[in-house]
Amino acid sequence: MMNKLKLWLEQTMMISFAIFVGILIEGVVYAVMGDDLANFNLTWLQLLSVILTGALCSVPTLFLFTEDDRKKSHFMLKLVLHFIGLYAIVSIFGFIFKWYVHIDGFIFITVIFFLVYAFVWAVTLWFHKRDDNKINKALDDIRDEE
């Protein structure tokens, strides 16, 4: 239970941070393109929506990826379902919380989603690799003492 809570919190923080950075990049793009910055609003409700989206997007990870699922085909199917589910959550929340109002904004949110998804996977894999290395080193140290 504690590991699932830790995973949920890690995923929530990473997803929320990455979405927030994506929204800031959107603001920079507006500024560089010379668009009216009045079109770019970052309200407290949108900041809260980013955290809520991160928390909600973390939930499917807990249910879809379990330790007992070792078959690659099952994992790939779960990964595709995970991706589609998270994309639906982000798209719906983006519409509800007005992260975009035009099709170009939706396209931008879609690009940001792909980048956030890749970022979160990369960081998650790095965390797991780091933990594996720590465990292996501890086991090697125990073997060396014997």
Q: What is the pLDDT of residue 56?
A: 92
- Angle between helical axes of 44-64 and 72-96 (0-180°, round to 10): 160
Whether the per-residue pLDDT at 109 is higher than 80: the answer is: yes
The 10s digit of each residue's pLDDT in 2-23 is 788 888 888 899 888 888 887 7
Q: What is the pLDDT of residue 117?
A: 86
The 10s digit of each residue's pLDDT in 29-76 is 777 877 666 666 677 888 898 899 989 988 887 777 666 656 767 777
**Residue range of the domain that includes 98:** 2-145
Whether the per-residue pLDDT at 95 is higher than 90: the answer is: no
Number of domains in the chain: 1
HEC states along the chain? CHHHHHHHHHHHHHHHHHHHHHHHHHHHHHHHHCCCHHHCCCCHHHHHHHHHHHHHHHHHHHHHCCCCCCCHHHHHHHHHHHHHHHHHHHHHHHHHCCCCCCHHHHHHHHHHHHHHHHHHHHHHHHHHHHHHHHHHHHHHHHHHHC
